[in-house]
Structure formats: structure tokens, C-alpha cells
Chains A and B, each alone.
Chain A
Amino acid sequence: MENIIELKNVTKRFEDDGSAAVKDFNLSVKRGEFVTFLGPSGCGKTTTLRMIAGFDTPTSGSILLDGRDITALPPNKRPINTVFQRYALFPHLNIYDNIAFGLKLKKIKEDEIRKKVTEVLEIVDLAGFEKRSTSTLSGGQQQRVAIARAIVNEPEVLLLDEPLGALDLKLRQVMQRELMRIKKEVNITFIYVTHDQGEALTMSDRIVVMNKGIIQQTGDPVSIYDEPQNAFVADFIGESNIIDGIMVRDRLVKIQGVDVPCVDTGFAENEAVDVVIRPEDLDIVEEGAGFIDGLVTEVIYEGAYYDIRVMAGDYEWHIQSNMSATPGKKAGLAILPDNIQIMHKPRSSDEEIIEKD
């Protein structure tokens, strides 16, 4: 599969001397891929998307579409369409004319337009809505019109900026599945923005985790979740215990003064590291039976598991286990060496960045 979109050293500063909203961004998106930008608020997801759409121009770097440099091309000349977070439907047009907007500009014949609009309305499950006005639609329906309005133009790339952000949880989950079905049906490249890690893990072929305008890690959902490359990614994707440790030697890490076997190698002897352990990988055992003991401070029944907090030394461990525990009692924590993730410390505290290899 060839690359449809390439971003090369793209940097965006909104003020000449200001800090970069997007910093030295490099990414290749393959044709037909579903790529998601994931990161906290203000990390530059929208800015990156807007540069791909053409609403903002990069301060430096270039954007390629199908190998052609489109950095200076205005949005109306790019075969790329956007689904906006707040839908941005045209309030003066009915559903039919909203969806037909792009096709009419391309001077396509009226009956051809009618055919395409009817078909795309079926895809988004809104057949028969042609004459409704946008204000009579629910949020989910408006969102589907926004999607239809974009995909009816058969763009090379579809950009979606938190398209489900304004919907409630239930509808969001329905629309996630809906979007994945539509994606399969139309086979357009999707670049999707969200700050919801669950959404990213569910829908994407590939996730780009961003923080402060910098790519933290790129990979498929499983590798992002199971092998986060730095503490930021580990913390952002799912919940994690992140604790200081010292790599005693290969396959042995010191956590809270206790030597614990692990599987990681290749660190310097006695290097200070971040140790990342997922709450669901920890087990509650008898006092003394685990690698560390602590005081159970909180147990919450969550349905599928117990959410337990255990205070050991000055760190409160977070455990998700199907075994319960008694608050106020001592308990031990056990872990399999496989489930311990060791990470280099970030080089400087304000730039939580790590080299990808």
C-alpha cells in the first residue's frame, strides 16, 4: 500500500516567537488506513488536521498528497473533506442540499447528484430525510449528515475532528460502530482526532499518540496499549501505576527498595527508570506472599472487578482484580515478570519525548 498523505517535518507556530503548537511532525498515512491522533487537550491534534485540510499553513515543513506537495494549496482545491466537531451544517439548506453542496460545485448533472445523495443517505441510515431542515435533527442525525456531506464527494482522505465529542456515551458507542461500518463500505482513508483513548483503541488501524505538539508513539492499538514507549503514553492509554525504579541489571529491577524480576534488558546498570504496571496485571495476595506489602485503603466493586488501592511506602498502588480485599488490613501485591514495563526516563522533564527507533 502506497502512502496517500505524508507530513514532513511539519511545524506550526501561531505567533512568530511563540512555542510550537505542532513540532517537527513526521507521519505517513497509507491509502485506506484508519489513523487516529490521540492526545490531551491542546496537544495539537486539531492544528495538525487543519493543516492537512488546508485551513492552516505550516510554519515550516511540507504536506504531500499522493506524492504531490499540497502545502500551499487552498482547502477548496484539495481532494480532502472534513467532518467538523460541531457538524457545521448549512442552516439555510435542507438535508438534500447540504449533502449535494460539494457535488453541485463540481457541476455534476442533477440526476447524478440525486442518485448519489440518495445512496449516501442510505449508508448513513437517513433515507427519506432529504427535505428535513437541519434544525429538526438530533445531534446524532446531524453528525451523520455531516459525514454524508463529506463522503458523498468521494474524497481521497476524510478528516474527522472529534466527530462524536458532542454526543452522549451511548450514542457515541453506536456511532463508533457506525463509523467503522461506513469506513469499510466506502473504503476512504480516515484521519481521526480524539482525546478518548477507548475510542482510539476501538476504531483505529494505527494510533498516533501526541503530547505538546510532539508525536510520543505511533503504532497499532495493541502495541500502544501493551508496549507503551514512555510514561506519558502508558499513563494516557488506560490507567497505569507509574513508579520510579532502578534497573539493577538485565531482568532485575528495584521497586520501592525491593528487587523484582522482569523481562527487560538493554538498560545501563543501576539506571533510573520508570516502571509501568497496569492495574489489571497486579494481584492481591496474602501479606508477605507478594513482592511488596501495603495497607488496603479502598475497595470499590465495579461489576466486572474490584478497584483496590493499596498504600505501600509513599506510593498508592492501583489494582483491578476479581479478588476482593478488606480495607484497613495488610495485603501483598504480586505480579508476573512479563507484565512489568520498564521505560527510560524522559530526557528533560518539560519535554516528555522519547526517541522512536
Chain B
Amino acid sequence: MDRNRKQRQLLALPYVLWSIAFTVIPLLVIIRYAVTDKDGHFSVSNLLAFSTPVNAKAFLISLEIALICTVICVLLAYPLVMVVRRLRISRMTFMLFFLIMPMWMNFILRMLALQMILSNNGILNMIVTGLGFQPLALANTKAAVIIGVVYDYLPFMMLPIFNTISDIGEDVLEAASDLGASPLSVFFRVILPMSLPGLKSGITIVFVPSMTSFVIADILGGGKIQLIGNIIEQEFTRSTNWNLGSGLSAALMLFMLVGMSFTIKDDILPSHPVKDEEGEKKEAPGGEGISRRAVL
């Protein structure tokens, strides 16, 4: 048994090396840069730079966009997943169509295509004016960035939700409707609560990167939408102030860690709060048939 465990630990070695090389070490480097100034002396000013007006504003816009995008993704993912389930599409087909096929097209290309579709005389406005409406001014707006982020991250919201929902047995849903639940109640009382683990991972997967997706903001926001990701990127590329960029990065990471710890804590605590203590203490009464009949 012991040898077995050793073997398994050995198998994990490549993964451990990989994550040390590409996650742990870079992280340490970032932290080192974050807590020092240009001359290599210890300093927290890079971390505190998070609260300067420009950075704070970028952070708030990022937060706003990430929140809106996450909510839109959730609202779109559920109906789509329900349709996918109804169509009895297999997990493989689902992954192929929603995750793998979009990746065959380069991300930048997809974003540039979207930029052209949304541009003032793009396809979208051709359709809109063709239908007799006023043209939309989406180009280089927050809305365009939101559309881009949703377009890019929706599959990552759908996949974990799809996974939990496709695990729900048809008989469980039938049981719910058999007990009197309308299709809407079946969704809110069974499907939604049973898919919460998937929803949580979907939110984590979508929220974090959509806060920092500076490329989408660059292309679809036309440089007018400054996300915290854009500022960090500029510190590294243009101002070459690696210390400040790392400091902002580390502060952002800290923020997300705190945010995530709430969802994780949720998983550890019992998900069914005890209603009251009465039932716990009560002794099981012995065989007694009169009151039983009264109720049924």
C-alpha cells in the first residue's frame, strides 16, 4: 500500500514541476516586484497605488463590467443549457460545439470580427437600419466590451452548469412535477439548487478573467475603456514600471482571493441551515396509531 502511494506521488511529479516553474515562481517574482521599489528596497507604495483616482476608477469600471458580464452569462447560460439538455445532446458534442470549435478561430480574429460587426456601419447596424430603426452607436463603448466578454466567456459559464444539470436524473425532475411542481417550480426548486456547484465554478471562471481582459477592452473599447487589466498591461509594456504593475496585480489577486474565499467557505459549511432544534432533541415516540390516522 505504501509503495502504491509512492508511485502515485511519483506520477504527480511532472505536474508539480510544471506548476512550480510556471505558477509558483512567476507568482513569487511578481510578489517580489510588488513589495519593492525601482531600487530594490522594500516598499508598499506599489500596492497602495491601487487607490489612486485613476486606478480606482479603472478598478471600479472593471468590477462593473465583470459583474454585468457575469450576470448576463448566467442569464444566457441557463436557458441555453436547458435547451441543450432537452435536445439530449451528449457531453462530447456539447464540448465540441461550444468550446472547441470557437477556439479553432484565433481569439484576436474573433474580436476583430466582432469589432467590425458592431462598428457604426457594420453588419449589425445594416440590419438595424434595414428594419427601420435608428442605428446603434456601439463601437468603442462599454456595451461593446460587455458584448465581447460575454461572447468570449459564455461557453465557460455554460460548461460547468451543463455538467451539473446533465447529471440530474430525468426521474428526479419527473418526481418534482409528480409532486405538483409546475415547470417553473421544477426549475427554481430542483434544477437551480442542484446546479449551484456548477454555477459557482462558472462564476469564478467568468468573473475573474472578465475583470482583467484588457485585449477585449482594447479592441472593442477603442482604448476608451480603461480596465484595471489595461493599466497593469501599460505599466509593463509602456511605462516599464514592473514594480507598479506587479503591485496592482498583487492587490487585484488579493481582492479576488478574498472574494473567492466566500464561495469556498459556502461549500464547507452545511448547505441546509438547521430550521430549529426541536426535532433533534425529540425522542422517536413508540408505536402509536391514533394520531397517524388523523393526518392522512
Contact = CB atoms under 8 A, between A and B. Distances in A.
A150 B175 CA distance: 9
Interface of A: 53-55, 74-76, 80-82, 84, 86, 88-94, 96-97, 101-102, 105-106, 115-116, 118-120, 122-123, 127-128, 130-131, 133, 149-154, 185-186
Contacts of A122: 284-285, 288, 292
B171 A149 contact: no
B189 A101 contact: yes
A54 B183 CA distance: 14
A102 B180 contact: yes
B171 A86 contact: yes
B179 A81 contact: yes
Interface of B: 169, 171-172, 174-182, 185, 189-190, 193-194, 196, 271-272, 274-275, 279-280, 282-285, 288-289, 291-296
A80 to B, nearest CB: 8
Given A101-B189, A102-B179, A106-B180, A127 B285 contact: yes
B185 A88 contact: no
A225 B185 CA distance: 46
- List 4 tightest A-B contacts by C-beta distance, closest first: A127-B284, A102-B179, A88-B171, A88-B175
Contacts of B284: 122, 127-128
29 contacts: A55-B178, A76-B181, A81-B178, A81-B179, A82-B174, A82-B175, A82-B178, A84-B171, A86-B169, A92-B196, A97-B272, A101-B179, A101-B181, A102-B179, A105-B179, A105-B181, A106-B180, A116-B295, A118-B279, A119-B291, A119-B292, A119-B296, A122-B285, A122-B288, A128-B283, A133-B272, A149-B175, A153-B179, A185-B292
A89 to B, nearest CB: 8
A123 B292 contact: yes
Contacts of A74: 177
A97 B179 CA distance: 13
Contacts of A185: 289, 292-293, 296
B199 to A, nearest CB: 13
Q: Is the interface of B mostly helix, strand, loop or mixed?
A: helix
A75 B189 contact: no
A151 B179 contact: no
Nearest to B291: A119
Given A122-B292, A123-B292, A154-B296, A131 B274 contact: yes
Residue of B176, B182, B271 ringed by the most chain A CB atoms within 10 A: B176
A130 B279 contact: yes
Nearest to B194: A92
Contacts of B185: 105
A80 B292 CA distance: 21
A90 B175 contact: yes
A96 B278 CA distance: 13
Given A116-B295, A120-B295, A130-B279, A91 B194 contact: yes
Given A92-B193, A92-B194, A94-B272, A151 B178 contact: no
A82 to B, nearest CB: 5
Contacts of B296: 119-120, 123, 151-152, 154, 185-186
Given A81-B178, A88-B172, A122-B284, 12 more contacts: A54-B178, A76-B181, A81-B179, A82-B174, A88-B169, A90-B172, A96-B279, A105-B179, A105-B185, A122-B285, A131-B279, A185-B296
A118 B285 CA distance: 10
Nearest to A146: B175
Contacts of B174: 53, 55, 75, 82, 84, 88
Nearest to A55: B174
Contacts of B292: 119, 122-123, 185
Contacts of A186: 296
A59 to B, nearest CB: 20
A293 B194 CA distance: 67
Contacts of B282: 128
A87 to B, nearest CB: 8
Contacts of A118: 279
A133 B285 CA distance: 21
B190 A90 contact: yes
A102 B182 CA distance: 11
B179 A84 contact: no
A105 B184 CA distance: 12
B212 to A, nearest CB: 33
Most buried by B among A89, A119, A120: A119
A101 B176 contact: yes
Contacts of A116: 295
A56 B268 CA distance: 41
A94 B176 CA distance: 15
Contacts of A123: 292, 296
B180 A84 contact: no
A120 B282 CA distance: 16
B11 to A, nearest CB: 30
A152 B295 CA distance: 9
A128 B286 CA distance: 12
Contacts of B194: 90-92
Contacts of A115: 295
Contacts of A128: 279, 282-284
Nearest to B169: A88
A75 B171 contact: no
Contacts of A92: 190, 193-194, 196, 271
Nearest to B280: A131
Contact of B180 (A55, A94, A105, A154): A105
